[in-house]
């Protein structure tokens, strides 16, 4: 999956800012490239992730997946894997929040590659 450099920077900055909490967002894609990260005003970072998905995803076909941060390694939890089923691509930002610590997974939890584009 391709992702814009701007979106990557936004994810890393937000993850750093949220630490030690997690942040959760949705990914908006255009022409096969993730171009935007949506974080919902008023949503607590600790809020149940699937509830965010239930409310937002069906309304907007440009949403291709999710992103959230971990206060540790970018390894998906069991809850993450269930949550992933709703998105085409799901990114976890692990500490210390550099591009190398971003992991992407498909709907089945299989690792997938992220390619940065301008």
Mark the segment that binds Zn ion (CB under 5 A) among 9-17, 27-35, 51-59, 77-85.
77-85
- Work out whether 80 is an interface residue with Zn ion (CB under 5 A): yes
Smaller CB separation from Zn ion, 8 or 24 = 24
The footprint of Zn ion on this chain (CB under 5 A) covers a number of residues equal to 2
What is the distance between the alpha carbons of residues 19 and 73, in angstroms, rounded to a whole number? Answer: 13
Please tell me whether residue 23 adopts helix, strand or coil conformation: coil
Pairing relationship of beta strands 89-93 and 63-69 according to DSSP bridges: parallel
State the nearest-atom distance from the C-beta of 13 to Zn ion, in Å: 19
Quote the longest CA-to-CA distance of the chain: 34
Please, are residues 81 and 51 in contact by the beta-carbon 8 Å criterion?
Answer: no
Q: Which is nearer to Zn ion, 33 or 91 (CB)?
A: 91
Binding site for Zn ion (CB under 5 A): 77, 80
């Amino acid at each position: 999956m391709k992702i814009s450099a701007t979106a990557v920077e936004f994810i890393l900055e937000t993850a750093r800012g949220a630490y030690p909490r997690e942040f959760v967002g949705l990914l908006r894609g255009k022409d096969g490239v993730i171009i935007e990260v949506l974080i919902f005003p008023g949503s607590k970072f600790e809020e149940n992730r699937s509830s965010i998905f239930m409310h937002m995803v069906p309304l907007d076909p440009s949403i291709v997946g999710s992103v959230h941060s971990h206060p540790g390694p970018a390894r998906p939890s069991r809850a993450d894997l269930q949550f992933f089923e709703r998105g085409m691509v799901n990114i976890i930002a692990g500490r210390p929040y550099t591009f190398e610590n971003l992991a992407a997974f498909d709907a089945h939890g299989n690792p997938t590659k992220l390619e940065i584009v301008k």
